[in-house]
Homo-oligomer: A and B are copies of this chain.
Amino acid sequence: MFDFELTATQGAARAGTLTTPHGVVQTPAFMPVGTHGTVRGLHPDEVRHAGAQIILGNTYHLHLRPGEDVVRALGGLHRFSTWDRPMLTDSGGFQVFSLETFRKISEHGVDFVSHVDGTRRMITPESAVEIQWALGADIAMQFDHVVPGQASHELAREGMERSLRWLERCRIRHAELSDGRQTLWPIIQGGTHADLRRASLDGIVGSGEWTGIAIGGLSVGEPKPIMHRVLEELEPSMPRAVPRYLMGVGFPADLVEGIARGVDLFDCVAATRNGRHGSAWTSTGRVNVRGAAHRTADEPLDPHCDCETCTRFSRAYLRHLFMAGEMLGLRLVSIHNVRFLIRLGEEARAHILAGTFDAWSREWLRRHSGQDKA
């Protein structure tokens, strides 16, 4: 039920088609993040109209609220949230390792205190797989040990090696549970250290047949050039036949830089988080809709954008909604940002298919330099 067909390549950049039980995903593609089973501020129809082919759910958040038992009782995350296209859940690893409240890491798993109700919880490789099986996304992720972006070789090695051991435990538990409707993807760790990244990839490739491989632990504090170097060092050794997912990465320039280095899938909350703050990515740079310059601006956020916001509402109206504290404003700018990233994936794909990706991506990065700040 899981298949990946590589249609065209240009340099490292790839155009492919990922098939899942809930449909196909034309790559490269951006996946909007639906933390709590909803892409923040948006209706599933708006996410669909923005062109999203696949969305992401957060296992950590859904485990704490409403709980996977509730989601399973309602027929799984697809039915619960009324999203009928492909879906991926992360494993909760990134979230529990990012917690600033109490957490205790052992070989068994991660012991932590819920930020929702203060109860003591534990996530293990096995339970991360069990929760994701209950949620029922098409693609589940292994539970991994994430280290900070500037982690020492020793710390990064510890996290990488533990992630490999945990992958094996995830694989075993997932094989017991899954009837084939859900697949499990491994995550390459190793911080910014080339030898560790290589060892992680070797360990993963040597441990089984996978339908996709993720690259984790990037965009977690390290400078962008370091992220690019890690991708470049990994790329020649990555399996060609499966999609590559760069986790948690997704400012516009990151997509273009990542696609140029062979990445197929991206996710990031920046599109909706920035949208809620009135910050929009446009073809001419970042626009903050609160700006006084937009007070009577009768033009769309981006005249080159085909999103539901740009084809209907003026900057003046968006500014007014933000100044008046009206929820519709947050929604409309989020719709635009999500569409912006999805369209970027569509354009990159078209240029890869046409053999014009190199020139297009260089020109795009030149025009948009400086737009990818948080």
Contact of A327 among B66, B81, B321, B331 (CB under 8 A): B331
Instruction: Name the B residues within 8 Å of A190 (CB-CB).
Output: none
Task: Give the oligomeric copy count.
Answer: 2
B320 in contact with A43 (CB, 8 Å): no
Measured CB to CB, the closest approach of chain B to A78, in angstroms, equals 12
A41 close to B327 (CB less than 8 A): yes
| Smallest Cβ-Cβ distance to A317: which chain B residue | B80
Contact with B along A319-334 (1 / 0, CB 8 A): 1110110111011000
Chain B residues positioned under 8 Å from A296 (CB to CB) = 70, 73-74
**Which one, B36, B73, B81, B320, contacts A70 given CB within 8 A?**
B320
A28 at the interface (CB under 8 A from B): no
Look across to chain B and name the residue whose beta carbon is closest to the beta carbon of A316.
Answer: B74
**Contact A80 B326, CB 8 Å, known A296-B73, A296-B74, A321-B38:** no
User: Given the complex, which residues of B lie within 8 Å of A313, measured CB to CB?
Assistant: 82
Taking the complex as formed, is A220 at the interface, i.e. its CB lies under 8 A from any CB of chain B? no
The CB with the most chain B CB atoms within 10 A, among A38, A323, A324, A331, is that of: A324
Q: Which residue of B lies closest to A46 (CB)?
A: B43
B40 touches A327 (CB 8 A): yes
B324–A65 contact, CB under 8 A?
A: yes
Check A373 for interface membership: any CB of B closer than 8 A. no
A328→B61 CA distance, assembly (Å): 17
Q: CA A109 – CA B142 in complex, angstroms?
A: 69
Q: Is the CB–CB distance between A326 and B38 below 8 Å?
A: yes
Per-residue interface assignment for chain A, residues 340 to 361, with 1 indicating a CB less than 8 Å from any chain B CB and 0 otherwise: 0000000000000000000000
Are the CB atoms of B65 and A328 closer together than 8 Å? Answer: no
Decide if B317 touches A81 in the complex (CB within 8 Å). Answer: yes
In the bound complex, how far is the Cα of B374 from the Cα of A180, in angstroms?
A: 52
**In the bound complex, how far is the Cα of B228 from the Cα of A134, in angstroms?**
55
A120 to B324, CA, bound (A): 19
Residue ID in chain B nearest A39 by CB atoms: B328
Nearest CB of chain B from residue A92's CB, rounded to whole Å: 16
Chain B residue nearest to A334 in the complex (CB): B327
A182 on interface, CB distance cutoff 8 Å:
no
* Interchain CB contact under 8 A, B82 and A320: no
For the complex, is A37 an interface residue (Cβ under 8 Å from B)? yes
Q: Is the CB of A314 within 8 A of B74?
A: yes
Closest to A42 in B: B328
Contact (Cβ within 8 A) B38 A328: yes
C-alpha gap A5/B312 in the complex (Å):
34
A162 contacts partner chain B, Cβ-Cβ < 8 Å = no
Q: Does A48 interact with chain B (Cβ within 8 Å)?
A: no
Q: Judge if A295 is at the interface, Cβ distance under 8 Å.
A: yes
> Please, which residues of chain B bring their CB within 8 A of the CB of A328?
38, 41-43
Residues of B within 8 A of A324 (CB): 36, 61, 65-66
- Say if the beta carbon of A107 comes within 8 Å of chain B: no
Per the 8 Å Cβ criterion, residues 51-67 of A in contact with B are 61, 65-66
Rank and list the top 5 A-B pairs by shortest CB-CB distance, nearest first: A36-B324, A66-B320, A73-B296, A38-B328, A41-B327
> Please, could you name 7 A-B residue pairs with CB atoms under 8 Å apart, sorted by A?
A36-B321, A38-B326, A66-B295, A66-B316, A66-B320, A74-B314, A327-B331
Q: With contacts A73-B316, A327-B327, A327-B331 known, what are 8 further pairs, Cβ within 8 A?
A: A37-B317, A38-B321, A65-B323, A66-B316, A74-B296, A80-B317, A80-B320, A327-B330
